Amino acid sequence: MTLLKGKNIVLGITGCIAAYKTAELIRLLVKSGANVEVIMTESATRFITPLTLSTLSQNKVYIDMFEEPENYSIDHISLADKADIIIVVPATANIIGKVANGIADDLLSSTIMAARSPVFIAPAMNTNMWNNSIVQENINKLRVKGYYFINPESGDLACGYKGDGRLRNINDIFAEVSDYFNIETPLKSKKILITIGPTREYIDPVRFITNKSSGKMGVAIAEEANRLGADVTVITSVPVSLEGIRIEMVETTSQMQEALKKHFCSADILIMAAAVADYTVKNYSDSKIKKSSSQSELTLNLAKTPDLLEQIAGIKTGNQIVIGFAAETNDLIANAKHKLESKKLDMIVANDVSRNDIGMNSDYNEVSFIYPDSKIEQLSKTTKQKVAVELMKRAIELVNKT
């Protein structure tokens, strides 16, 4: 509980039936010693009264962006500057869309735009809205820019539907916030190198072959490693904004290979979360290949790309840790074990990419951590942030053994 003592937490509440649950969240935060400043959207006041939240937080509740400011301070700037963390509970599709697209037309969205502190977002909405492709694109956009999401649960919704979209249990949200302020930094002296996203292999200047990897898993790992105090470098093909993390952009497998050669020698831990292309186009065309009316087919000659994981694991020193990923559609454990052994890895994370509810381009994953001594630790379906937490716990154990 002492983790939150003296912390300034700005709690944003938007117009959703789950807004009433924030009363309990405020109670838990205040009881733990946090100073809670509440910003409500106009719609949120239709679901729970500002008086209730002011009484619980023992602070003024902010609603109107154009209210006369106190002490000549502009509310959205002063609140943003004061915040150690901003959490939006519940977050509607509307506020997510605003933030994702740089819209700041009320006090809450303006405060988030002005914030330098971490922003946690706990969505709650109808299941069809949650699964809407536009909403998911907005969420993905914010994830890669470093926003933290506390994903909703699946269950009965107030609208009568059943499915994903119900606000996460308040105790879970409180735990996520508390965990963020865990100031232990077991990786403070360690350098961690992480590869993120797919690689592209160009056919001509405008076309390429690639895979479904979104980079979400790698981003979550980078954020967790950074939180644990590590000096983190990411090599990524996915545009990301990660505060305090060194970023090197690449596109092709050969570019990732060169970046790995440059950074691996100084790394204590390498986590190969990238989905590297297995094949590249053998005869790249310098000009765009034109579609011919007389030609009904186009044949591409492919050549194997270098096995980056095998190459890098083969040159590691005794104290370096190399962790790989195995994305499989069948014989998951057997194929992952073979990859672990053949490439002489310190650990491999196996996940089934044949399922639509986990793995590539999903917010969730279900993995098995496999070790050279054949020990297997399984992690049930959970968010990729939780997978990252569990992965880094095991990485720390591996480091401590060297």
The residues annotated with a catalytic role in the active site are 159
Asked if residues 123 and 94 have their Cβ atoms less than 8 Å apart, the reply is no
DSSP per position, 266-303: G-SEEEE-SB--SEEESS--SSPPPPPTT-------EE
- Token representation of residue 6: 């003296």
| Terminal-residue alpha carbon distance, the chain | 33
Write out the E strands in 101-212: 119-123, 148-149, 153-156, 162-166, 191-196, 201-202, 208-209
Q: What is the Rg, in whole angstroms, of the alpha carbon atoms belonging to the chain?
A: 23
Half-sphere exposure of 293 (CA within 13 A, CB side): 0
Q: Closest by alpha carbon to 148, among 121, 180, 170?
A: 121
Sole residue written with tokens 């190459």: 311
Amino acid, res. 251: E
Q: At what angle do helices 22-31 and 170-180 cross, to 10 degrees?
A: 40
Pairing between β-strand 302-304 and β-strand 321-328 as defined by DSSP bridges: unpaired
